[in-house]
Amino acid sequence: MLDSDVAMLYHYETKKLNQAVKRNIDRFPERFCFQLTEEELEIMWSQIVTTSKLQ
């Protein structure tokens, strides 16, 4: 689940959600909170586009 998904569930802006997480990092278990590298993000988006083209 991405930060944008969580923000949408709580009717909150993604940017503000990320700011709140950074301010309260001790409240979020490390294994549940991570940030993708640029390369990982590109791979994820390319897989989404590829899947969409197949449908």
The ranges of the chain with pLDDT < 50 are: none
Q: What is the pLDDT of residue 35?
A: 81
Domains in the chain: how many in total? 1
pLDDT digits (tens, 9 = 90+) for 34-43: 888 999 988 8
- Domain range for 30 is 3-54
Q: What is the pLDDT of residue 1?
A: 80
Do 23 and 12 contact (CB within 8 A), yes or no? no
